[in-house]
Amino acid sequence: MGILNLKFKYTGIGFAAAAILPVAGCQEEKIHDLPNILWIVSEDNSAYFTGCYGNPFATTPNLDRMASEGFLYTHAHANCPVSAPARNTIITGVYAASNGNENMRSFYPKPGEARTYPEFLREAGYYCTNNAKTDYNFSRGDNNVWLKIWDESSNQAHYRNRQEGQPFFAIFNLGVCHESSIHTTMPREELRHDPDKVTLPPYHPDTPEMRHDWAQYYDKVEDMDRQVGQILKELEESGEADNTIVFYYGDHGGVLARSKRFVYETGTHVPFIIRIPEKYKHLFPAEKPGDPVDRLISFVDLAPTLLSIADVPVPEYMQGNAFLGSQKTEDPEYAFMTRQRMDERFDKVRAVRDSQFRYIRNYMPFRITMQHVNYLFRAPSARSWKEAFEAGETNEVQSMFFLPKPVEELYHTESDPWEVNNLADDPEYAEVLERMRGALTDWMIDIRDTGLVPETEYSTFSDGGSMYDYMRSDECPFDELMRASDLATSENAGTGAYVEFLKNDHNAVRYWGAVGMLINKDSAGSELSALIDAARDRSGAVATLAAETLYAIGEDDLARDAYVRILTDDAYSIIDKHYALNSIDAIGEDSHKIIAAAEEMDKKYSGIDEESLSSVEQFQLGYLNRMSGYLLHKWGVLATFE
């Protein structure tokens, strides 16, 4: 959709190009009055790892000083606890779960009407630079079109290259504290933080590897803080500090296991500080610098906030709330977080946070929290946790993340910051549970949550477009999908309801019937005929979960036949086969029949011409190969697996 056709929040009128395009006269004066905006973004670190958020073991003097000179947001959250979907939300101002770009490294098309905030800022007169991470999780298009939204996007991009007098928006991305920083173990004597003095969370076993990775990561955060100081010093030396609003934030939580990728506080609560010069004190979110700000904010709010600061009307499709500037909204009551496929592992989780509580709904409770994601388990600490669990050396809290999940979780995060005491079944918190559950449901309806459709079916319904557009189309039975997903994950719905879903013409409605059957597997044996039919379904996700349910009720041969059919039949797609391998691993199936089918599939795809595949299929193939390689190594077929 062209920019002239958009409508905007707070105006109620059509957009006028002259409102933001640089022209002569008063508009030129307005451009010179605009503040510069500098974003410093660090990778993979929770608020917990900084001194200014109350951790005396952390060494972050530059961030601590910035917090004393600016405004520290106490309740800032990533909407997705991993980089690509988090950045997708930031760049568009639309939840990745609404965009259809929530699954990690999926590269589905961007919604037709959504534009990126640099495009708006450039039209307002800003010189926009990105140094240098993109990772927006939507299709690049021809010639990496997403790089063209910037004036510069490279590791050499810098605001100094703008025209004289031109305001700038500049991002500097700091990767020194990325998850990969603990994949290689530093010699203990080189660590600046003592592993013996690390305070471990109650869910982590006290292993040497765990203590070492925690200490090493504190070192990496200290290195990141030093880089923040260098960027701020450079800004001072440029003479632009008094004209520049500086944002610092982490791109999501991390990185020790059960933080990054997970919708707990450790995965979503990020450090977030804004320093605002005195000349822009009308933007102060509190009385004076140094005051903390308790407003709930999340990444979906960043794009509308930038436009609000620049006096650019916020488009209606943006789903966040401006928390600074002329279009600042009332403080929201909730922030929302989501998780779906993380690399090679499928899941679907939704969460909502208010100022005290976190509610989590697990739509795939038959998948453990700590599924084996290859990249995650490169960390010695993660491997040591799993090994301790398998050796029977973990307590109840440390073990729960390797066991099936409850459908609902509720935590009093203010009193239980590590979120290990689930209050969902506590009658004392029944009212809170109902309120938070309702808030999550209302939000899913409001954003037209694409997670109501399994990722295996995205290409079926999007038809080359975006899932955002499909979910708003007449072809999408949205209300029916909401009802099916709710019943599938609710107690006492009865298997009869799931059988009816399995008869539906819509693949995603049938999917929720299969989910309900698997969650309620103890009573699914009475519906054997329906399960056998579902195991032959044309939808790979439906057939897979039906097979898994058959396996759970003792119909092993029927289940194996269904898995073999999915792995070897060309009627099922690459992502269907990937989904089936996840299920096979979850149930621990390693029969000769299954191994032979996996080998046959792996041989076929190892020789495929990737140029014959779409860009989306190429990424799907990469994850399929990773999953099959992991299993074939686990089964002893492959000697090594990286």
Q: Give the chain's radius of gyration (CA, Å).
A: 25
| pLDDT value of residue 29 | 57
Place of tokens 């005195």: 278
CA distances for 257 relative to 178, 377, 378, 382, 421, angstroms = 13, 8, 11, 6, 18
Q: Which tokens hold the place of 523? A: 């009573």
Find tokens 């000769």 and name the residue: 592
Residue appearing with tokens 């897979």: 544
| pLDDT more than 90, % of the chain | 90
Supply the DSSP string of 126-165, one letter for each residue.
-EEEEES-----B--TTTTGGGGGSSEESTT--GGGSPTT
% of residues, the chain, pLDDT over 70? 95
| Distance from the Cα of residue 88 to its chain's centroid | 9
Residue labelled with tokens 């009193």: 415
Distance, CA of 1 to CA of 98 (rounded, Å): 18
Q: Report the DSSP pairing between strands 349-353 and 244-250.
A: unpaired
Q: Which helix (H) or strand (E) holds 517?
A: helix 507-519
Is the pLDDT at 20 greater than 60? The verdict is no
Which pLDDT does position 30 carry in this prediction? 64
pLDDT at 356: 98
Tally of CB atoms within 10 A around 395? 11
Helix/strand/coil (H, E, C) string of 574-622? HHHHHHHHHHHHHHCCCCHHHHHHHHHHHHHHHCCCHHHCCHHHHHHHH
- Determine whether 322 is exposed, middle or buried from the number of CB atoms within 10 Å of its CB (0-12, 13-18, 19+): buried
pLDDT tens-digit series, residues 459-492: 999 988 999 999 999 999 999 999 999 999 997 7
The predicted structure's pLDDT at residue 31: 65
The stretches of 198-292 forming alpha helices (DSSP H) are: 208-238, 265-268
Residues 261-269, mean pLDDT to the nearest whole number: 98
Instruction: State the average pLDDT for the chain.
Output: 94
Residue 101: predicted pLDDT: 96
Q: Which of 191, 229, 173, 243 is nearest to 31 (CA)?
A: 243
The CA angle 52-282-269, to the nearest 5 degrees, is 30
Nearest-angstrom CA–CA distance, 294 and 73:
6
Q: What is the largest CA-CA distance in the chain?
A: 78
pLDDT at position 18 is: 31
What is the reported pLDDT for 16?
A: 30
Q: What b/e readout covers 274-306, taking b as 16+ CB neighbours within 10 angstroms? A: bbbbeebeebbbeeebeeebebbbbbbbbbbbb
Q: Is the pLDDT of residue 11 over 50?
A: no
pLDDT in tens, 67-86: 999 999 999 999 999 999 99
pLDDT digits (tens, 9 = 90+) for 409-468: 999 999 999 999 999 999 999 999 999 999 999 999 999 999 999 999 999 999 889 999
The conformation of residue 315, written as its DSSP 8-state character, comes to: B
Burial class of 475 by CB neighbour count within 10 A (0 to 12, 13 to 18, 19+): exposed
> For the segment 199-249, what is each residue's pLDDT rounded down to a tens digit?
999 999 999 999 999 999 999 999 999 999 999 999 999 999 999 999 999
Q: By the 8 A CB rule, do 271 and 221 touch?
A: no
Tens-digit pLDDT profile for residues 603-636: 999 989 888 898 899 999 999 999 999 999 999 9
Taking the alpha carbons at both ends of the chain, their separation in whole angstroms is 43
**Separation between Cα atoms, residue 95 and residue 78, nearest integer Å:** 10
Ordered domains of the chain (ranges, CATH): 3-328 (3.40.720.10), 434-634 (1.25.10)
Strands 408-412 and 152-153: unpaired
Pairwise CA distance, residues 74 & 71, whole Å = 9
382: closest CA among 391, 393, 372?
A: 372
Residue 171 amino acid letter: I
Angstrom distances, CA of residue 420 to CA of 397, 412, 423, 430: 7, 10, 9, 18
Residue type at position 400:
M
Q: At what angle do helices 208-238 and 380-390 cross, to 10 degrees?
A: 150
* Position 566 pLDDT exceeds 60: yes
Please return the burial class of 437, using the count of CB atoms within 10 Å of its CB with bins 0-12, 13-18 and 19+: middle
Q: Please give the structure tokens belonging to residue 63.
A: 């961030």
